[in-house]
A and B are shown apart, each in its own frame.
Chain A
Amino acid sequence: MLFTELQNRFLNDNLVASDGLKEMQLLSNRLSKLLGSENSNFQIEYPLFNVYTNNENAIIISEIPGIELDDIDIQIVHNTITIKADKIEEKLEANNSQWHRRERSFGHMTRTIELPFEVDASKTQAKLNKGILVIELPRKEEDKPKKISVKVN
C-alpha cells in the first residue's frame, strides 16, 4: 500500500517548518548546501520552550509528545532548570511490517534554561497533559521584590 501526501509544500528536507526556528534551520541547511559545507553549525536544541513570568512565578511550557512522565527528569539549582527526557523509539511489531514514513524524532534530550530569578525547588510543580509539559516555579520568598514605602517628614 502506498501513502501519498497531499499539500506537502513544507516538507522538504524531511523537516516540518512549523515555526520560525525550524524555518531558520531549513534555510541555514540549504545555504550551507549551496556553499558546499555539509555540516551546518546552526542546530536546534530540543525540547523547545516557552517561558512565562510575573513577579511571583515562572511557568515553563514544552511540547513533548509521546514522552511518558517516568522518562522526564527535572533538576533545579538556584535559577537554573535542567530538563532531561527520553523519547522511546517506536518499534515494528511483526517481521513483515514496514515503515512508509518516519518524521517523528526520538532519543535523549537535555535542555538547560536560566530564569531571571531564583525559584523555590520544593514548591515546584510539573504536569504532563496531552503531550505538553508545564512546570510551575514559584519565586523564592527572599528574592521577591520588596515594596518600600516613602514617608514624608
Chain B
Amino acid sequence: MSNNVSVLDKELMPRSQAKTNIHKFIPRCDIYETDKAIVVLADMPGVDENQIDVTIEKNILTIKGNIQEPEYANYNLIYSEYKTGNYERVFALSDEVNKDEIQACLKNGVLKLMLPKSPVAMARKITVKAE
C-alpha cells in the first residue's frame, strides 16, 4: 500500500522537482548606479566562473549560478548551520542596457556585473541653459 502511495506522489510531483533535490537560493545583492553603468554585486560562494549564467532578455536580467556539492566521503556532518545550493535571481531593468558591453567578474565568491547604460538612456539628461 505504501509503495503505491509513493509512486502516486512521484507522478503528481512536477518533473523539475522530482529530478533534483538541490536547494535554490536567492543571492544577496548590492546594486549601485554610476553615470555610465549599473553595477550589481551578488554573493555567490562556491560557484565556479564557468557555472555562472547571466542573461538579459529584453529588460529582464537573470543571474544563475550552479555549485558543485562538496563531498566529504568518510566524514560525518556533525554540525550544520547552512545548506548549499544553486543561486538564481531575476531583475527587471527600467532602462536600456548596452548588452554587448556587459562585463562580469568573479572574485572570492562575489559576482560583479557591470551593465553599461546605452547611449539612449544616457542622453536623457537635459541641460537647461539660461538665455
The closest CB in chain B to the CB of A101 belongs to: B31
Residues B78 and A53 in contact, CB atoms below 8 Å apart? yes
Contact assessment for B45 and A21 in the assembled complex, using a CB-CB cutoff below 8 Å: no
Within 8 A of B (CB), among A1-23: 1-8, 10-11, 16, 18-21
Q: Could you tell me if B43 and A131 are in contact, using CB atoms closer than 8 angstroms?
A: yes
A153 CA / B103 CA spacing, docked (Å):
76
How far, in Å, is A129 (CB) from chain B's closest CB?
9
How many B residues touch the partner, as a band?
Answer: 35 or more
Contact between B35 and A4, CB atoms less than 8 A apart: no
B residues 16-64 in Cβ contact with A at 8 Å: 25-35, 38, 41, 43-48, 60
Q: Which residues of B contact A (CB under 8 A)?
A: 25-35, 38, 41, 43-48, 60, 70, 72, 74-84, 89-95, 106, 108-110, 117, 121
Residues of A within 8 A of B (CB): 1-8, 10-11, 16, 18-21, 48-54, 57, 59, 61, 63-68, 90, 92-94, 96-105, 113, 116, 128, 130-132
